[in-house]
Structure formats: structure tokens, C-alpha cells
Amino acid sequence: MTTEYRGIHDLVGRIVRIDLTSGRITDESVDSSWYREFLGGHGLNQKILLHNPKPLNSPLDPETPLIIGAGLLVGTGAPGATRLSVDGKNLFSGGVGYANVGGGFASLLKASGIGHLILTGKAPAPTFLQVENGHISLQDAKDLWGKTVPEATVAIRTLFRDDASVLCIGPAAEHGARGACVIIDRGRAAAKCGLGTIMGCKNLKAIAAYGSHHTSVYDPTAFGEVCRRLWKQLRRSAFVREMGLKGTIGSAAKKNLVGGVPYRHYQDGFMNPRRINLIDSCSFQRYEQFRFGTRGCPITCRATYKIRKEDGTTLSGEAMQANTIQDFGYKLDIVDPAAIIQANLLCNAYGLDMDTCAESIAWAFECYEAGLINNRDTGGISLRWGNSSAVLQLITEIAYRVGFGDTLAEGSKIAAEILGRGSSELAVTMKGQDLYETMRSPKGYGLGAALSSRGGGHCSGSPISEFSPGRWSHSKSLQLYGVKTAFDPTSYDGKGQLVAFYEGFHTVLNSLGICFHATIWQHPDLLNWDDLSELVTTATGWNTEVDELMQIGERIHTIERLTNVNQAGITMSDDYPPSRFFCNPIRTGPFKGEKLDKAAYKDMLRENYSQHGWSDIGIPKQETLKALGIQGLGREESEASPIGVND
């Protein structure tokens, strides 16, 4: 150990509470045991929320905190440790709300000596925070209010410094669109849960961060050796090299092969390959300007694009993830790459979560096709599949809450309640939040998205091994993941256990700040539990075995479940996908006829609950809480609502 490292606080960074109403800025002290029990990032954010001095009321209540937290290993040189967690109360469900995002903000916040910002209150006027080497100041943002994310980012860097990282909201949050998100450096979205709108309700336009401090670790020699070995391992990976060439959009077409795309708003799980080929990864390369990666990550998965719009002007910026193609390509049957790029860039500029935005629009398209709405409802916009002009117009209307976009800005669940006419049957949501993932096939992928504590989302625990059927043998699958069926998209066997494996793994990754794409979630050759154990042990001085890390993941995940049960009234019924996935099979393609079987799904669900030590209806058991050291937080099963699902 060197004298430079004075303790875990050096690694985590300061925890700073900012009351935007009064402008008061204070350092927060927490029990040192919290760090070992919850690490940093998402885990520590959730612990802070749990122990907030005031009861958590509405997500939009100024006193409900919004917490920005860098992962424990961010800034240390650990490969892929660049991630930030944004946590608050979910605007869709009233329960757990969080987003995990890349880019440079987490690293520069940590380099400023700060690990977490707890934001409460509401500024008297539009404000942005300026963070530089530990000094925080509140700045006037009245001239920034109303600007798009790129416009505000440029203006803030001009006022502050051009090498700062800027976390910013756009017009969508300012106008109260439920699906508004937070954008980092113009292109990285902390999406879902309405976190952008929550930030906007605090009159906080942005946070700009810069730091030049070094983040110290317990044993720099041993930690450095581990990092060098892992960096070398990742750079040698054929998967990492491939992703560096194509980004995540290279994986989009694979989903079609197993019936895993939301074609025309989930009416099918398969899209004609001739149309798919019009928007494969190669079709976007003509618009690509350059590829790059986040500093501290070995994968160059990011890219900027430039397109020419119909009016002859150009639009450029960072864009294109796998979900971009799913959201605006497959889901809306758009096969124009330039239009898909433009839709992504508009969402970034306005600060809109693509998944929520595209799902609301696709719901409206299906309502239009079914005759539930017409041009009088839409303001004259023809919502026919493939009409990219209509989609682009609606994105703008949603952001500014004008025209038909004012209804769609609520998300499809509430929009359907407003519209009526039986349109709720067509809304595809989980726990109130618009869905991106399909659930008929693969089975485990769908289960992971359905179980996500934040309401839909494959990044909580969905296995993506199922998109590569037959890649590995049953024995290899058993060795890697503890089940034989990790690469079988149609099998229900063991999928509850497989999802539980990834729920714990991803929770730990979000708390360490390590990108999923650098891990075994993507490929067996990448970072695994043993690697994480070595990194944490040498960085902290704790003798952190894999079992302890797994228990940390269980502790955080179980607290999320308790939050949802106690604050949002979520029950087992909320873990069931929308009925169309049980009733309407995949229509075409090699997986034609696949749908969810309710009895088999229930078995998967209960297997997952059992893996976590929860009851058959998804309530954490008292003995589980005691084993995790969080007793006293639970709710007796007798107090819980009944299952509420017809067997």
C-alpha cells in the first residue's frame, strides 16, 4: 500500500448534497460499511435513496432526490470503467428509476474528486452546475433554457471550458415529456424512467464537469498488473475488434434470425430479409464520419454520422445503437438509413429516450392501421408504416408537446387511457413504461426485460447468448452460466436461473461503472466474475471473493424489489408481459408459431424468484433479508397484493 491512498473515500470520491432551492452545498458523510456493501455508482445511489432523510413522494416533488453517481472503479484505469448511474424515482411506475450511461462525464466528475451528487429542491430560475476540481458553483442558465442539447452543450463549454463534459437536458424535459432523458456530451443517453423530466422540474439545465486529479487505489502495483492483463485480453478479442468496426448496430440483424424483432409494433417477430438488408450495418457506413471510443474503454463502439435532410441542410452528430434500428427501423418498418439516423439525432437534440418515443409512435401507427384513430386525431399526419416523414414530425411534436405529440408525450400507456377506444390493448409496456424488447423469442431475453426493476429493459438481466443459438455446447453453457440452455432461444429450462445470474452481474457492473460490452454478457472471453474480484480487491484492499460480489449484487437487486413492492405496489402480475406475447404468435420466418406459454412462463418466473430467495409471488423472504443484512426493510407476504394473474 502506498501513502497516497488514504482510504476508500479516495476511491469513491466525495458525496455532495446540493439543495437547488437554497443553493446550499454540503458534503455528505455515510457509514464506511456502505461502500463494501454497495460499492459505488448505482448501488450506492440506491442506498442513499433508501436512507433519504425525508420520505420519497412524487418523482416530480422537488424534495425527491436525483442522484448522479460514478462507478467505484471509474477513473482508475480499469478497462471499460467509464460509466455513470443516474438514480431517482420512476416517473412511469413510481418505483425504482435509474439509468446507466457512458461518455466522459463520470471520469471527469471523479477526476474532480467527487463521486456522487445528490440533487434536491428546485432552483428559483434555470440553473446549471459547474464542477471543477472539487469546486461546485451554481450558474445562471436562463439563456440556455429552450436550447437543444447540442446548442446548450456548446454554449456551456464556451462559458466554462471546452474540455468539460456536459450532462444536459433538452426541450423535451423542459416541456414535461414523460420520456425525456439526460444526455451526456450530445450523444450518450441516460434513458428511461423520465429522469430528464425530473431534472427539468428542478430547473436544472445541465451539469458541466472537469477534473485533473488522479484517482488512487489501495495497491497500485498489483492493480496495474491486473489492468494491463485485462486490457491486453480485451484488445486481442475478435469480438472487441468486430464491435470496434460496427458498434452495437452490427448485432441488430441477428435478432431477426431468432424471431426477436418488434416488426410493425410487435405484430411479427420477423422482418423480410430483403428489407432488413436495406438497413443492415453496412447501409449506415456511407453516412459515418468517424468511429471512436470513450477514454478508458477498449471498444470503439461510438460513431458520428452526417446526413442531408430533405430541405437540403445537413445534420450531424453521434448516433446509432442497436436499439435505433429496432426502434425506428423494424418497429415502424422504415428502411431509409438516413431517416433512421435523423430520428436518432433528433431524439438526442431534444433529450428524448428513443425507446419511449418510438414505442409511443408505433402504438399510434398500429391504432391508425386498426381504425382507432384517423387524420383528425393526428392533425392530418398519415400514420402509415414506413412513413418516415410522419415519424420525424411526431418526434418534434412530442418534444415540444404540441399537436398529437402532446398526447404521445405521456407514453403509450397514459396516451391509450386518454384516447380510449380500446387502444390500451395495443399499448406495449412493462410496469407502465414503454417497451423496446420483444418477448416471444428468445424466452430468457424476454423474461429479463419483463423483470427489470425499472420497467422493461434488457440491460437489467436479459441474456443475449440466446441470439447465437448453437454457438457453444450444453457443457460449455453449463460451465459459463450454470445452465445448459443459455444458447437455446426457445427453451424455458433454466432461464429463470440464467436471468438471475445476469441480474446480479449487471447490478455489480453498474455499481463498479464497467460497461457490459466488455464482459461475458457479450462474449465468454471477456471480463468475468473472477476478473471483477481481482480488480476490486487490488483497488480497495478488501479481500473481495466472487461470492461476496455476488452477494452485493443480490443485496442491491433485492432492495430494488423492496422499493417497487413498498413504494409502487408492484406484484407478480407486473412481471408478466403484455397479453399479445402470449396470444399472438410470430407470423413468419424460421420461428413462426412461437409465443409465450403462460404456465411455462410462470415456472420461469418462480425459478427466478427462488434464485433470489423471494417467495412464489416475488416478495423477498425475511431470511433472505437477514442473510443480506437488510432486515427490517421487508414487507410481510400477508400484506402483499395477491398474484392477480389468471393461471
Other Cβ atoms closer than 10 A to 277: 12
Please give the pLDDT value at position 515: 97
Domains 8-210 and 443-513+545-638 share a fold: no
634 pLDDT tier (thresholds 50, 70, 90): low
Residue pair 346/396 in contact by the 8 Å Cβ criterion: yes
pTM of the model: 0.96
Whether pLDDT at 645 is above 60: no
- Average pLDDT (232-244) is 93
> Looking up cell 418526434, which residue turns up?
395
481 pLDDT tier (thresholds 50, 70, 90): confident
Tens of pLDDT along 272-300? 999 999 999 899 999 999 999 999 999 99
268 pLDDT tier (thresholds 50, 70, 90): very high
CATH number of 443-513+545-638: 1.10.599.10
Tens of pLDDT along 111-135? 999 999 999 999 999 999 999 999 9
Say whether 589 sits in a helix, a strand or coil.
coil
What residue segments make up the domains of the chain, in order of their start?
Answer: 8-210, 237-374+382-392, 443-513+545-638
641 pLDDT tier (thresholds 50, 70, 90): very low
Name which of 455, 477, 469 is nearest 359 in CA terms: 455
Q: How far, in Å, CA of 449 to CA of 248, rounded? A: 18
Query: Does the domain made of 8-210 have the CATH classification 3.60.9.10?
Result: yes
User: What architecture does CATH give domain 237-374+382-392?
Assistant: Orthogonal Bundle (1.10)
Please give the pLDDT value at position 635: 55
Tens of pLDDT along 91-115? 999 999 999 999 999 999 999 999 9
Tens of pLDDT along 525-554? 999 999 999 999 999 999 999 999 999 999
Please give the pLDDT value at position 644: 34
Please give the pLDDT value at position 631: 86
Q: Which residue has the higher pLDDT, 474 or 414?
A: 414
Name which of 647, 644, 642 is nearest 573 in CA terms: 644
| Residues contacting 646, CB < 8 A, separation 6+ | none
Q: How far, in Å, CA of 196 to CA of 180, rounded? A: 5
Tens of pLDDT along 591-619? 999 999 999 999 999 999 999 999 999 99
55 pLDDT tier (thresholds 50, 70, 90): confident
Q: Give how far Cα 474 sits from Cα of 443, 467, 487, 530, 600, Å.
A: 17, 15, 8, 22, 21
Measure CA 32 to chain center.
28
Tens of pLDDT along 168-202? 999 999 999 999 999 999 999 999 999 999 999 99
Residue % of the chain over a pLDDT of 90: 89
Tell me which H or E stretch contains 205. Answer: strand 204-210
H helices of 237-336, in order, are 238-246, 252-257, 263-266, 273-276, 322-324
